Amino acid sequence: MSTLFRDAEHESFYYHMLAERQCTDSYHRALFYTLGISKDTRAHIHDVFDFASGGIKPEGLSASWQTGSSIRTCRLAFNLWNGWSQVGEERYSTPHELFDCGFAPYFFEAIRLRYPDYCRNQAPSFRPKAERSR
């Protein structure tokens, strides 16, 4: 089953991170796929993931470079990684809050990567406009 990528940079980042971590379990696939969607999270990967300890860095959500979309991206990535949601701010980790942006089709793909056993028959159905016109 093919994976839907937002652009070439997203795809390159994803495979580079998996190779660097030398781990391709569903947790890493979903995390790096999700964090690779946004150019901002790709550029600031070390602000949101600790490569030394192999864990997320929720404090990165308050970084000055964060945008509405990149915060949504991080929240979903963190939740797919280990179920994380910010104490007292759990409502920001709901589908209503997270999927209210242009990254929604890729967020569905991230969920498919994280839960492959439950999404086997769920092929990506979204294709960017440029791809549909071919």
Stated pTM of the model: 0.85
More confident residue, 117 or 124: 117
pLDDT digits (tens, 9 = 90+) for 11-40: 999 999 999 999 999 999 999 999 999 999
Give the whole-angstrom CA distance, residue 125 versus residue 104. Answer: 12
Between the alpha carbon of residue 87 and those of residues 68, 82, 83, the distances in Å are 19, 14, 12
pLDDT digits (tens, 9 = 90+) for 40-60: 999 999 999 999 999 999 999
- Domain locations along the chain: 8-114
Q: Residue 99 in contact with residue 9, Cβ under 8 Å?
A: no
Residue 125 has pLDDT above 70, yes or no: no
Q: How confident is the model at residue 126, as a pLDDT?
A: 53
pLDDT digits (tens, 9 = 90+) for 67-80: 999 999 999 999 99
Q: How confident is the model at residue 29, as a pLDDT?
A: 97
Residue 107 has pLDDT above 80, yes or no: yes
Query: Where does residue 15 fall: left (phi above 0), alpha (psi -120 to 50 degrees), or beta otherwise?
Result: alpha
